[in-house]
């Protein structure tokens, strides 16, 4: 008398991976996510490998996790995967400060972000 199995949150030909608490602003992370949207996964991995952005290393890990989820959990073919979605969200913002002149206080915001990558299997046109 156990619980029912959770329904899938994505379609049968999709897999998803999410990475939280990335130490960067969502705006900077979205620049890197825009590099890979709509591309084949091997091309996207190459673009992230040779990107000069610091956060590209973490985005590459998330993409590799989505590919592994597609292959191992959902039985999809890796050669036919594309990056269907790559979207960015805000996470917490640490508030810090620095004393300034005349008794004032300079506010320093240290933002965190999260990224969700969805890969989809599409059949290649011959």
**What would the pLDDT profile of 77-122 be if each residue is shown by its tens digit?**
999 999 999 999 999 999 999 999 999 999 999 999 999 999 999 9
10, 17, 116 from 90: Cα distances, Å: 22, 16, 11
Q: Flag whether the pTM goes above 0.85.
A: yes
Length reported for the chain: 126
**What would the pLDDT profile of 31-40 be if each residue is shown by its tens digit?**
999 999 999 9
9, 17, 73, 99 from 65: Cα distances, Å: 17, 6, 11, 42
Residue 3, pLDDT score: 87
């Amino acid at each position: 008398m156990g619980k029912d199995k959770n329904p899938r949150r994505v379609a049968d030909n999709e897999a998803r991976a999410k990475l939280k608490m990335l130490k960067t602003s969502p705006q900077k992370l979205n620049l890197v996510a825009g590099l890979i949207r709509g591309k084949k996964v091997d091309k996207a991995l190459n673009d992230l490998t040779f990107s000069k952005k610091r956060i590209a290393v973490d985005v590459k890990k998330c993409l590799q996790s989505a590919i592994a989820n597609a292959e191992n959990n959902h039985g999809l073919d890796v050669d036919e995967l594309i990056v269907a979605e790559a979207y960015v969200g805000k996470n917490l913002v640490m508030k810090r400060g620095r004393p300034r002149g005349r008794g004032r206080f300079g506010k320093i915001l240290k933002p965190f972000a999260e990224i969700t990558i969805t890969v989809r299997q599409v059949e290649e046109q011959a």
